[in-house]
Amino acid sequence: MGSPVLMSIPEISTALHDLRDRLDRAEARAESVIGGVARTHRGSARNLVHYVAVRRHDLRPLQAAMAAHGLSSLGRMESIVHPWIDTVIETVDALAEGRRRHPIRDDLADGERTLIRNRDDLLGTVHPGAGDPTADGPDDEHGERAGRIMVTMPTEAAGDPELVGRMGAAGMDVARVNCAHDGPAEWTRMIDAVRALPGDVRVAMDLAGPKIRTGPLEPGPEVRKVKPVRTDTGTVERAARVRFSATTQTGQRPPDGIDAVIPVLDLDPDCLNTVDVGARLSLRDARGRRRRLRVVGVSEAGIDAECDRTVYYQTGMSITVSRPGQGENKGEGKGRNNTGEERSLVVGELDEVPQHLLVRTGDEIRLQRDLAPTPATRVGPHRIGCELGEAFDDVLTGHRVLFDDGKIAGRVREKLDDEIVVDVERAGPGGTKLRAGKGINLPDTTLHIPALTAEDRSDLEFVAEHADIVNYSFVRSPDDVADLIDELERLGAHHVGIVLKIETRAAFESLPQMLLEAMRWERVGVMIARGDLAVEVGFGRLAEVQEEILWLCEAAHTPVIWATQVLDGLAKNGVPSRAEVTDAAMSRRAEGVMLNKGPFIVEAIEALTSILDRMGGHVEKKRSLLRPLSSFDLAEH
């Protein structure tokens, strides 16, 4: 950058005047675009144009020279670009001419006030009772926590208004309902519970969008493995205990003390009456191994039995019930029917064992347009369907293909009409499991697919009637933004705010144009969806890209929601990691933070509320070095 002391005050003045001239020229070129946004956003659109124009140049030498003279380094001008530069010019010119500088301008806080107003319009205000009473105090000019907390509604919330009440009391400001899960009946019950909360708790609904996923695999066997607990030397410490029941539900969690619940056909009260404690259950498991279990309990819930060996239960398996042995229980009728014969039970339908491809570096994956289930393979070449067949039209040889959040990375070697051949360049050392329904990212491919799917357009009718905000998934271009605005106008949903989810490289690179298009709408925000975005831009670039989005949105006076895996360990396991606590603290620089669901979600909300309250006195955005940003360009306007 050169030595800062080599630039004199007059030279700094000349550089600043040149910089201001660039802003004026950029504004003149974008006059028609600025005039097309909503009147309330025109100042923000003008500031965004100024900011992008400034960031096309390397300002670090100028920053260093100004700092050497004790002047502002320009590192906090995002929300008020032109007034800030004007103020610095006045100071520098006054120094150059040996006169007193002009009085301090009264418009330097306009950008921050506009951003706060836009935040409250979109995300609401902190409702009564939310916050940490032990914190040092409020952290914005309204006397409240600056960061709003958005929380994903779990399915359980549809039937548990008390859970929603605890979430609200803990500090939830916006309830997020994901249209990719559940349905209108569950959404309605969730939203009704949110509307019953005190204060201004908003409802945001996520559109599912055109997510590219792997297709189905052939079903696995209907088998359930149950094993005892052993010591390090192999001795059985606790026998495996199962419950044979007629009322088993798919995905049902076993009761305490039970390792698995196995469905049994025709297990009625008359049948239960023929089985007693101490009876023996005999079977051949899915591997053909002989196994004997001892009945340790019989109740209306079913038959509880123990075995000190591993058993593979299988749908249709026959289990023979024998009477207790000599000296255990001599009730002659037990374990037999009324003819004295031994009784047999039949195992009902078990869940299929999830199948997977075992993918290693150097393997070949063939993506199929056909979505017929493919066999699970442990050795390549592997074949699996791709749910979004339109991707076959846009991908090119040499493009990268990432599977399951980047756990597997490859590159297109060959493109056929109904098949894409991918050479795997990276997988886990022992191979990585690839299952059905996992995400596929194409960071090098420009997909000519509308961000609004037919299902999204249908869901928008519900959103228009019930929600305050729509979170726009996989938006990639200004045309996508215009499409959503057209749909909302058709539905008369002018009250619904728009949040652009930035989760692809294309969305990041076209963010200035998308913001200008979105500013035709009254209430606009941006979500940094860091999961898919990290896969698309690379984990090494995520922190840099995140910063650039924060800067750009501040220039546009657009509130930002910091999302993906915030306090995930706490929400899911009850214990946060050190890294995620630090991440949550840094989220204070955004206007909103999103939490995902988990068994300990209430505790996660309470912790995040406390962190945001306490960080308010320590963190507010940041000072930055202004190297040129090549990511953003408004030249086409």
Tens of pLDDT, residue by residue over 590-621, are 999 999 999 999 999 999 999 888 776 555 55
What CATH architecture does domain 223-324+341-347 belong to? Answer: Beta Barrel (2.40)
Place of tokens 């995040």: 608
Contact 279, 334 (CB under 8 A): yes
Query: Is the pLDDT reported for residue 295 higher than 90?
Result: yes
Q: Which 3 state secondary structure label does DSSP give 377?
A: coil
**Is residue 299 within a helix (H) or strand (E), and if so which, with residue range?**
strand 290-299
CA-CA distance, 89 to 383, in Å (whole number)?
A: 63
- The phi-psi region of residue 565 (left if phi > 0; otherwise alpha if psi is between -120 and 50; otherwise beta) is left
**Both structure tokens of 620:** 């507010």
Among 152, 153, 151, 149, residue whose Cα is nearest residue 124: 149
CA-CA distance, 452 to 179, in Å (whole number)?
A: 13
Cα atoms found within 13 Å of the Cα of residue 138, Cβ hemisphere only: 9
For 367-385, the pLDDT digits (tens) are 999 999 999 999 989 999 9
Residues 21, 23, 24, CA angle at the centre, nearest 5°?
65
Strands 364-368 and 223-226: unpaired
Beta-carbon count within 10 A of 495 CB: 12
Beta-carbon count within 10 A of 587 CB: 26
Contact 425, 364 (CB under 8 A): no
CA-CA distance, 570 to 566, in Å (whole number)?
A: 9
For 425-479, the pLDDT digits (tens) are 999 999 999 999 999 999 999 888 899 999 999 999 999 999 999 999 999 999 9
Contact 462, 524 (CB under 8 A): no
Task: Report the Cα 67 to chain-centroid distance in Å.
Answer: 40
Query: Is the pLDDT reported for residue 150 higher than 70?
Result: yes
DSSP state of 372: S
CATH 2.40.33.10 fits 357-441, yes or no: yes
Query: Can you spell out the DSSP letters for 314-356?
Result: ETT-EEEEEPPPTTT---TTTTB-TTSPBEEEEB-PPPPPPP-
User: Taking the chain, what is the end-to-end CA distance rounded to the nearest angstrom?
Assistant: 31
Mind spelling out the 3-state secondary structure of 398-430? Answer: CCEEEECCCCEEEEEEEECCCEEEEEEEECCCC
Query: Is the pLDDT reported for residue 271 higher than 90?
Result: no
Place of tokens 């979105």: 518
| Residues facing 631 on adjacent strands | none
Q: Which 3 state secondary structure label does DSSP give 214?
A: strand
For 183-239, the pLDDT digits (tens) are 999 999 999 999 999 988 999 999 999 989 999 999 999 999 999 999 999 999 999
> In this predicted structure, what is the pLDDT of residue 335?
47
**Both structure tokens of 52:** 């992008």
Q: Specify the higher pLDDT residue, 334 or 321.
A: 321
Longest dimension (CA), the chain: 116
Place of tokens 């929380």: 151
**Both structure tokens of 167:** 């979430």
CA-CA distance, 22 to 612, in Å (whole number)?
A: 38
Beta-carbon count within 10 A of 537 CB: 19
CA-CA distance, 115 to 141, in Å (whole number)?
A: 12
CA-CA distance, 276 to 327, in Å (whole number)?
A: 14
Strands 240-245 and 236-238: unpaired
> In this predicted structure, what is the pLDDT of residue 196?
95
Strands 400-403 and 382-385: unpaired
CA-CA distance, 524 to 500, in Å (whole number)?
A: 8
Name the residue ranges covered by the structural domains of the chain: 9-107, 121-132+143-210+450-617, 223-324+341-347, 357-441
Query: Is the pLDDT reported for residue 52 higher than 50?
Result: yes
Percent of the chain with pLDDT over 90: 65
For 159-186, the pLDDT digits (tens) are 999 999 999 999 999 999 999 999 999 9
> In this predicted structure, what is the pLDDT of residue 628?
66
CA-CA distance, 366 to 421, in Å (whole number)?
A: 5
> How does the average pLDDT of the chain come out, rounded?
87
CATH fold match for the domains 223-324+341-347 and 357-441: yes
| Residues facing 563 on adjacent strands | 529
Contact 170, 608 (CB under 8 A): no
Strands 148-152 and 174-178: parallel
Task: Report the Cα 324 to chain-centroid distance in Å.
Answer: 55
> In this predicted structure, what is the pLDDT of residue 390?
79
Q: Which 3 state secondary structure label does DSSP give 51?
A: helix
Identify the CATH assignment for 121-132+143-210+450-617 out of 3.20.20.60, 2.20.25.90, 3.40.50.300, 3.30.930.10.
Answer: 3.20.20.60
Contact 581, 575 (CB under 8 A): no
pLDDT classification of 135: cutoffs 50, 70, 90: very low
**Is residue 514 within a helix (H) or strand (E), and if so which, with residue range?**
helix 511-518
